[in-house]
Amino acid sequence: MRDKIYISLISAIFLLLLIWCPVTFALDKLDIAKLPENKNIKLPNKTYDESEPLAFLLNPIEQGKATLENIYSNALPLYEKITIFMADNDRSMRRYFLTTLYNFEKTEEINVIENAPGSADDSKADDNIGDVENTEETTEPPPEGKKYIAEYIGSDWCNDVWAFTEEGRPFSEGWTDKTLLAGKSELKRRVEMQVEHINRIANANKNVNFYVYVCTRFQETEIFGEIIKDIRVMRNEFSTYEFMMQFFDGLDMSAVNGHDYFKIDTIEKRLEYINKTDHHEAAQGGYAIYCDIVNMIEDDAPGIGRPMEVTFDTVEGVKLRGSHVWNHGYTEIYDDWWYYNVDLPGDRILYEWIDPEGEPKTTTKRQIDKYLSGKYPKDTFADHYYQFWPRIAYAHYPSNNTGRNLLMITDSYSWSVSELLTSHFDYSYATYPSFREHWNLNYNDFIKKHNITDVVIFNVADRLLFDIQDDIQFNRTLTD
């Protein structure tokens, strides 16, 4: 009898979830009821090239399998709370174990110590020597001799993720950052690979002005090296500033009109320009990137004008915990949400998506009014960077008469930038090398079809310098 009750109970729960998950998923898609943005997104395990036999049948099957995995994970009841609970307990146990382990280590006393070594791959230590010539640190030490402590909080695809704060302050007042899992020899190889791809693209059409801009992470700064230098927990980490300089040195300046990078040379700029819990830039950082790019292009095309002035405001109540918090579950730190105010022509035409040929497909959604009215996602995992900024891929300003048309080869770092940047041109287009739909871009055909005069490649540094996620696919850009 007891067995029958047990089996009946389990069967009832199973049947309930079998129905509950797809119904909840459907209601979310219809905007009737919203699921938490836990972003446990399952992608197809395999994608078949369209030229392969039966690809038209196999790709939908793979997508269907991924969709079922999404439905029966993201729509589970209490999934967000369970995720946070499991992540918090995992991190607590790991911290207890590592701290205990550290207490048994007999090491020289270090000035700054908060935690034992995290799970960063210690094999990197041997890999860090001799591959790239070491450069002297020229950056001044952190102001007033400040010391910083670090706590390993998890991994995030190709990175280790750390929480930082000033010594003597709680981590909730600090910020998070990533360090690359790859060692120096691999990063050096990848820089050389990326330089080769970009030089090929730049040399493919010298009738356009070609620019390169690195959307620097804090790790690509010399000040990052100063901060981690005395932190025992990060003994195998390093600044990747020298790799960015190697990247610039390798660019063919007979084909590249100019290059620049996002300058974050103080702790204050790091906390102002980049979201504290996210690798993406804050509104202030997006504005700084915009100004850099316009100033760089304006040297060759003065008709586009100087950068516009903006004012900054916050949306009260919005808490951003980072676009990858669902991986590491570290929720103690969060950002206020900033945006910029600017007057732009009312006759502009903006589209959120274009097909590979550059044809508009979906109009952009204006999110500022929605956020100011309080109608924004309020769950722990809400990705406000993704939700808020218009993902402009096509823009037309009928009142502009600059004679300049822009092609942006970019990624998500453009979302807080493109609304301002595109306003300086008659027509603007964005292609995303990391998106499957924009693989196999025929570069010269696109330039000819859309009368492109200026091209700017700008991506987050770990993509542009290293293609660390193996997804930017510059090698697929057609230039013959």
What does the domain layout of the chain look like in residue ranges? Answer: 2-76, 184-476
User: Which pTM does this prediction carry?
Assistant: 0.74
Quote the pLDDT of residue 44.
64
What is the tens place of the pLDDT at every residue in 142-185?
Answer: 445 688 999 888 876 678 889 999 999 999 899 999 888 888 88
What is the tens place of the pLDDT at every residue in 317-363?
Answer: 999 998 778 777 788 899 999 999 998 888 888 887 666 566 666 66
Quote the pLDDT of residue 95.
47
Range ranked top by mean pLDDT from 22-26, 145-149, 209-213, 278-282: 209-213
The three-state DSSP-derived secondary structure of 281-325 is: ECHHHHHHHHHHHHHHHHCCCHHHCCCCCCEEEEEEEEEECCCCH
Is residue 134 over pLDDT 60? no
Q: Which of 427, 466, 467 is nearest to 447 (CA)?
A: 427
Quote the pLDDT of residue 159.
81
d(CA 241, CA 237): 13
Q: Please name every residue paired with 360 in a beta bridge, in sequence order, or none if there are none.
A: 354
Is residue 131 over pLDDT 70? no
Q: Is 155 helix (H, G, I), strand (E, B) or coil?
A: strand
d(CA 385, CA 322): 8
